[in-house]
Amino acid sequence: MSLNKKLILGCAQSDDNYGLSRNKKFEEVLQNAIKSGLNFLDTSPYYRNSSSIIKKINSKKNINIISKLKFDYDLKSNFEKRIRNDINDILSANNTKVLYGLLIHDSLLPLNSKKWKIVFKVLNEYKEKKIIKKIGISVYNTFELDNILKIFTPEIIQFPLNVFYQSFANKELLKKLKRQKIELHARSIFLQGSLLKNFKSLSPQLKIWRSEFLKWSEFLSDNKINALKASLVFALNNELIDKFVIGLDNKKQFEAVKNEFIKIQKNKKLLNNLNFNKLNSDNIILTDPRYWYSINNKEKLNYKKWIDLREKVLNGGMLLSKRPDQFLPAGWPTFYRKASGCHIWDINNKKYLDFSLMGVGTNILGYSNKSINNHVIKNINNGSISTLNSGLDKLLAEKLIKIHPWSKMATFSRTGAEANAIAIRIARIFSQKDEIAICGYHGWHDWYLSSNLSNKKNLDEIHLSGLSTIGIPKKLKGLTHPFRYNDIKGFKKLLRKNPNIGTVFMEVERNEKPKNNFLKQIRNITKRKKIVLIFDECTSGFRETNGGLHKKYKIYPDIAVFGKSIGNGIPITAVIGKKEIMIKARKSFISSTFWTDATGPAAALSTLKEMERIKSWKKITKIGRRIKMKWLKLSKKYKIKIKIQGIDALPSFSFDSNLNLYFKTFITQEMLKKKILATNSVYCCIQHEKYLNIYFEELEKIFSQIKKISDGKSIAYYLRFPVSQPGFSRLN
């Protein structure tokens, strides 16, 4: 591997404002690089002075130029002509007739289908004329790349790679890209020079990330290696990467890189002796220099609290849906001090209106409801648990049975997933069959996640994509089978193929409404085949009816499970069922200490009473309908296509665009400025009614901005924070 084959000289250093060093001698570096035989340059019209320096040299040398463009103009402003002008300007500014590569410098551009169509057409014309050899793209992370690959196959991909950001060191990924004949260029080997600096001399923006830089300096001293060498060794270790873009401040640095490069070639052993894994960081603010300056230090410190939490608490918390990265990395307030009604005060005492998840659906009556609190506090004062049993369990069972007369027995637990595990045990005992058909989300337990053992995408369509099966015993494979909502044919086929299915476990409705008597057909088939039908009402219960959503459809299961909302924020979940089924589990060991505390049933009894008194399901359904109507109105008014889903009290929408997640992030970012926690779904609570107009007013402003953004500058330009993370696969 020779220097000129593997290295590309990055020209960003021609710009005084780039990187951390203010004393750069780019022309000197360029002269030396060319003298040493290096003939690939990575430049861009956005790097000040770069083309004028290259131009001087290029008249005499045969240099391969890779340049970048954002195509960041308004669609209405003679878009196509401006693309051509910009490309022609690059050619003349660099004194060349041919570009080795033209990279799209806005990884979101291909996601804007209107613009992309035009850009792609023009670029291909230049390619056919052999003016551009390769059309490529520059990305910041693997998420951006995944999206792009769904749209087109670039001929060059340029990506960051350094000891802190190792996602592109993944051999499987690199192999996959090579199979598609993509030329791979890695950049940011020194993370804009920060990896080569002494911690003390780093700017305050970077000093916040003390622990990462400390780990790095410890790594260097433990391995008795200098930063330049270690950074290079890490990068060059990836033999599948074709070229490395190296930006250097002066001749001395260039010579040092050259010498290290030659030494590393001679001593390949070094490549294998260093273990860089522990330096890999999931701090997306540190590893993406776009955010070093766009995010202020207060916001960085907020994000640091989250990073620090992840060091002590597994995954930073026990519920995926509360991870701040799912809303607005570094911008989301993350920690609360107090919550009341539909307001939350963060740890800095800033008060927000919660138009987002409302405790992930736990508080239909609003946070910290006084009458429920008082009942619970009374029970705490009387001893929330004792050696003897609480009499409240019987009262709660009677109440739930009264609401659901088809059921005759109940049992209680404290989380939805464990209630579902109880339900499964009971159903298996009754049916004497191990296998289960599922449709929906039913919790984190082995029995549910095992569905992905036979096909890792099994749960993608019925719940979240990318749910891992690590830690799930392989022996569970084949016990849990997914089927799709409203696909009665698929359901029948599944039962035919798997005669050992004894339980059907499903949500009554989540995003789609039942079509063609889907629920009735399921009920009829399960009855005929003596299969236990369980409705998981953990999320749907008490949102549209006083009880399970199944009451609305008049389809009655054999067992129903309730969670989330029945204690208005105090942990309590319930399994109710037909007597002949429930009673079979008498000999089974289903037992747990904290299932017997009094606070849960006390909270549930007063919550059910209050919900019944004010008919909360009607109120939140009305609120949700108004929200859905407003979304629809905004979508029509601003001609932004959206898809609205969910039961009325739990509405959600998505933009019918490849940029969906970016627009969603934009909503959260803009709403936070108005002290509203918002995303693209609302768990309605009765308190929302009086604040709907505030929410609508602010949302309208955002929709009007989105309309402008769709045709104008890239959304990337308006996002100060990283895009919200899409799902589980990206969060680990």
Ligand X SMILES: Cc1ncc(COP(=O)(O)O)c(C=O)c1O
Strands (E), 539-632: 559-562, 573-577
What is the smallest separation between the CB atom of 360 and ligand X, expressed in angstroms? Answer: 7
Nearer to ligand X, 328 or 538 (CB): 538
**85-144 positions binding ligand X, by CB under 6 A:** none
What is the smallest separation between the CB atom of 621 and ligand X, expressed in angstroms? Answer: 18
User: Using CB under 6 A as the criterion, what x/- string covers residues 670-709 for binding ligand X?
Assistant: ----------------------------------------
What is the smallest separation between the CB atom of 417 and ligand X, expressed in angstroms? Answer: 3
Q: Does 557 bind ligand X (CB under 6 A)?
A: no
Nearer to ligand X, 1 or 313 (CB): 313
What strands, in cross-sheet order, belong to the sheet with 501-506? 409-413, 573-577, 559-562, 532-536, 501-506, 435-439, 480-482
Q: Does 447 bind ligand X (CB under 6 A)?
A: no
The window from 376-384, 386-394, 413-421, 593-601 that contacts ligand X (CB under 6 A) reads: 413-421
| Residue found under tokens 């999206």 | 147
What is the smallest separation between the CB atom of 458 and ligand X, expressed in angstroms? Answer: 17
Amino acid identity at 395: L
Question: CA–CA distance from 664 to each of 331, 358, 561, 642 (Å)?
Answer: 14, 18, 32, 11
Q: Are 54 and 236 in contact (CB under 8 A)?
A: no
Counted residue by residue, the chain has a size of 732
Nearer to ligand X, 440 or 502 (CB): 440
CA pair distance 404, 554, nearest whole angstrom: 11
Q: Does 569 bind ligand X (CB under 6 A)?
A: no
Cα end-to-end distance, the chain, whole Å: 35
Nearer to ligand X, 183 or 597 (CB): 597
> Which residues are CB-neighbours of 378 under 8 A, at least 6 positions away?
602
Q: Are 342 and 685 in contact (CB under 8 A)?
A: yes
CA pair distance 197, 207, nearest whole angstrom: 11
Question: CA–CA distance from 131 to each of 62, 96, 185 (Å)?
Answer: 15, 10, 20
The window from 236-244, 333-341, 414-422, 517-525 that contacts ligand X (CB under 6 A) reads: 414-422
The window from 90-98, 175-183, 190-198, 436-444 that contacts ligand X (CB under 6 A) reads: 436-444
Q: Does 163 bind ligand X (CB under 6 A)?
A: no
**Residue 273 is encoded by which pair of tokens?**
């002796």
Which residue sits closest to ligand X, CB atoms considered?
416
What is the smallest separation between the CB atom of 463 and ligand X, expressed in angstroms? Answer: 9
Q: Does 563 bind ligand X (CB under 6 A)?
A: yes
Nearer to ligand X, 107 or 362 (CB): 362
Q: Does 440 bind ligand X (CB under 6 A)?
A: yes
What strands, in cross-sheet order, belong to the sheet with 343-346? 336-340, 343-346, 351-355, 676-678
Nearer to ligand X, 289 or 416 (CB): 416
**250-309 positions binding ligand X, by CB under 6 A:** none
What is the smallest separation between the CB atom of 449 and ligand X, expressed in angstroms? Answer: 12
Q: From the centroid of its chain, how far is CA 639?
A: 27
The values of phi and psi at residue 213, to 5°, are -70, -30
Q: Does 417 bind ligand X (CB under 6 A)?
A: yes
Nearer to ligand X, 50 or 356 (CB): 356
Residues linked to residue 274 through DSSP beta bridges, in sequence order? none
What is the smallest separation between the CB atom of 492 and ligand X, expressed in angstroms? Answer: 24
- Which residue, among 14, 26, 34, 19, has the nearest Cα to 258 in the 3D structure? 34
> Which residues are CB-neighbours of 537 under 8 A, at least 6 positions away?
507, 508, 548, 549, 550, 560, 561, 562, 563
What is the smallest separation between the CB atom of 415 and ligand X, expressed in angstroms? Answer: 4
Q: Does 441 bind ligand X (CB under 6 A)?
A: yes
Q: Are 634 and 699 in contact (CB under 8 A)?
A: yes
What is the smallest separation between the CB atom of 332 and ligand X, expressed in angstroms? Answer: 19
Q: Which listed residue (166, 231, 415, 568) binds ligand X by CB under 6 A?
A: 415
Nearer to ligand X, 538 or 671 (CB): 538
For 322, the 3-state DSSP assignment is: helix
The window from 131-139, 384-392, 437-445, 657-665 that contacts ligand X (CB under 6 A) reads: 437-445
**501-540 positions binding ligand X, by CB under 6 A:** 507, 536, 538-539
What is the smallest separation between the CB atom of 450 and ligand X, expressed in angstroms? Answer: 16
What is the smallest separation between the CB atom of 412 and ligand X, expressed in angstroms? Answer: 13
The window from 54-62, 86-94, 438-446, 679-687 that contacts ligand X (CB under 6 A) reads: 438-446
- Which residue, among 459, 517, 463, 460, has the nearest Cα to 486 in the 3D structure? 517
Nearer to ligand X, 289 or 541 (CB): 541
Nearer to ligand X, 8 or 538 (CB): 538
Q: Does 541 bind ligand X (CB under 6 A)?
A: no
Question: CA–CA distance from 223 to each of 227, 261, 270, 274 (Å)?
Answer: 11, 18, 11, 8
The window from 412-420, 606-614, 655-663, 674-682 that contacts ligand X (CB under 6 A) reads: 412-420
Nearer to ligand X, 192 or 565 (CB): 565
Given its phi and psi angles, is residue 358 left (phi above 0), alpha (psi -120 to 50 degrees) or beta? left
Say how many residues touch ligand X, by CB under 6 A: 13
**Residue 277 is encoded by which pair of tokens?**
């894994």
What is the smallest separation between the CB atom of 380 and ligand X, expressed in angstroms? Answer: 22
Instruction: Enumerate binding residues for ligand X (CB under 6 A).
Output: 415-417, 420, 440-443, 507, 536, 538-539, 563
